[in-house]
């Protein structure tokens, strides 16, 4: 890589200095990372950055952005990001959220769908699956959670991000992310019973639900509830893929993302 493809900038949102990882060109795309933090500038981000400006805020409490004591639920965090979108005059913006980040996007949309143009939820948590359970990240180590969640942890992008020896820095980053996720989503674990009801109020937000067919973290049955709740939402599944489509099947993942964003 000749030049670093991304920079960090700080934006003040209320009492918080929010760190945004920014890279690419073109129309902005808000990227909401998942429960173990932002894993770094991945290959799909690098590709998409050729046509879109990717804005990845590091959630408060997940390392680069300091914890905000008052944020104690995903709905609090969604409220915080609505303020960010409003004050930065980003709306209506396209959004993509993975897992816990997908839940944040869904909560934001439920509160005010006009801030979004198009919404992609990649294996989002947030809804209790009617069949199966969301895999509990808190009774295993971060490494085990990641490995069990992937269909094939040996896939190159996945192995590059999460394989190999665990470094002290990685351990600290994961522990910090786990701690903040516990503050936000300990109980009920990774869902909000009122979310499906609030999602029913969304009118005319094009939504793509992108799911690995072999997702062992968020059972596919949750996709059906999301689809029922959000009018017109489309579900696309990717075969031979677990909970991390961007890292496990980057080509397929990009194809669907591009087709949907247009």
Partner 1 sequence: MHIMWFTERAYHHVPEEEVLKLRSFFGVPNRFFDASKGAALLNQYLDEKIYSDELGTFDGVMLNEHHGTPFCMGAVMDVEAAVLARCTRRVKIVLLGNPLPVAANPVRLAEELAMIDMISGGRLVPGWVRGAGSEQLANNANPAYNREYFEEAHDLVIATWTRPGPFRWEGKHFNFRFVNPWVLPLQKPHPPIWIPGLISPETVRWCAEHRYPYVALATMLEPTLDMWRLYTDRAAELGYQAGPENFGYLQPIFVHETDEKADEMGRKFLFGGGFSHFARPEWMFPPGYNSKAATRRLASLYANPNTPGLSFVSQDHTEDLEALRETIHAAYDGSKESLQMIAGSPRTVVAKLRKVLSVLRPGIFSFWLDGPAPARDRMTCLKLLGTEVIPQVREIGKQLGLVGPFERAPGSVSLGPSGRPEYVGSMEGLLA
Smallest CA-to-CA distance from 39 within 167, 236, 174 is with: 174
Is 241 within 8 Å of 249 (Cβ atoms)?
yes
100-111 vs 168-185: helix axis angle to the nearest 10?
40
List the one residue from 10, 12, 25, 144 that touches partner 1 (CB under 8 A).
144
Contacts of partner 1 in 85-114 (CB under 8 A)? none
Residue closer to partner 1 (CB basis): 138 or 200: 138
141 contacts partner 1 (rule: CB under 8 A) = yes
Size, binding site for partner 1 by CB under 8 A: 21
If one asks whether residue 171 binds partner 1 (CB under 8 A), the answer comes out as yes
| Residue 66 touching partner 1 (CB under 8 A) | no
Residues 178-217, mask of contacts with partner 1 (x by CB under 8 A):
xxxxxx--xx------------------------------
**Rounded Cα gap, residues 205 and 50, in angstroms:** 25
3 state DSSP class of 9: strand
**Cβ distance to partner 1 smaller for residue 154 or 167:** 167
Residue 159 or 182: the one with the smaller Cβ distance to partner 1 is: 182
How does strand 93-98 pair with strand 28-32?
parallel
Structure tokens at 150: 């992937």
For residues 52 and 178, which CB has a smaller minimum distance to partner 1 in the complex? 178
| Interacting residue with partner 1 among 166, 194, 221, 240 (CB under 8 A) | 166
Strands 6-13 and 16-24, sheet pairing: antiparallel
Taken in order 17, 114, 6, 184, is the CA torsion positive or negative?
positive
Chosen residue from 17, 51, 87, 172 binding partner 1 by CB under 8 A: 172
Strand partners, 191: 126
Given 1, 7, 154, 169, the residue binding partner 1 (CB under 8 A): 169
Cα distance between residue 256 and residue 228, in whole Å: 21
Question: Minimum CB separation from partner 1 for residue 164, in Å?
Answer: 13
Q: How far is CA 226 from the centre of its chain?
A: 15
Q: Is 75 in the site for partner 1 (CB under 8 A)?
A: no
Q: Which residues bind to partner 1, rule: CB under 8 A?
A: 138-141, 144, 166-169, 171-172, 175-176, 178-183, 186-187
């Amino acid at each position: 890589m000749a030049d670093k493809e991304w920079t960090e900038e700080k934006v003040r949102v209320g009492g918080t200095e929010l760190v945004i990882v920014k890279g690419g060109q073109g129309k902005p795309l808000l990227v909401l990372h998942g429960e173990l933090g932002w894993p770094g500038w991945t290959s799909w981000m690098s590709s998409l950055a050729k046509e879109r400006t990717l804005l990845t805020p590091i959630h408060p409490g997940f390392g680069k952005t300091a914890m905000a004591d008052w944020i104690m639920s995903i709905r609090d965090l969604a409220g915080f990001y609505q303020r960010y979108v409003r004050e930065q005059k980003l709306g209506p913006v396209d959004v993509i959220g993975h897992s816990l980040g997908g839940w944040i996007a869904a909560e934001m949309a439920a509160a005010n769908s006009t801030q979004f143009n198009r919404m992609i939820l990649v294996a989002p948590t947030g809804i209790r699956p009617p069949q199966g359970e969301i895999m509990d990240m808190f009774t295993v180590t971060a490494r085990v959670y990641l490995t069990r969640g992937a269909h094939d942890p040996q896939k190159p992008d996945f192995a590059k991000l999460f394989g190999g020896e665990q470094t002290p820095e990685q351990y600290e980053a994961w522990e910090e992310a786990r701690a903040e996720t516990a503050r936000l989503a300990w109980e009920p674990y990774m869902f909000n019973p009122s979310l499906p009801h609030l999602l029913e109020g969304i009118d005319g937000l094009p939504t793509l639900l992108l799911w690995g067919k072999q997702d062992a973290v968020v059972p596919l049955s949750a996709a059906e509830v999301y689809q029922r709740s959000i009018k017109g939402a489309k579900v696309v599944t990717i075969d031979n893929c677990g909970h991390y489509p961007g890292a496990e099947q980057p080509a397929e993942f990009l194809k669907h993302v591009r087709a949907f964003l247009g």
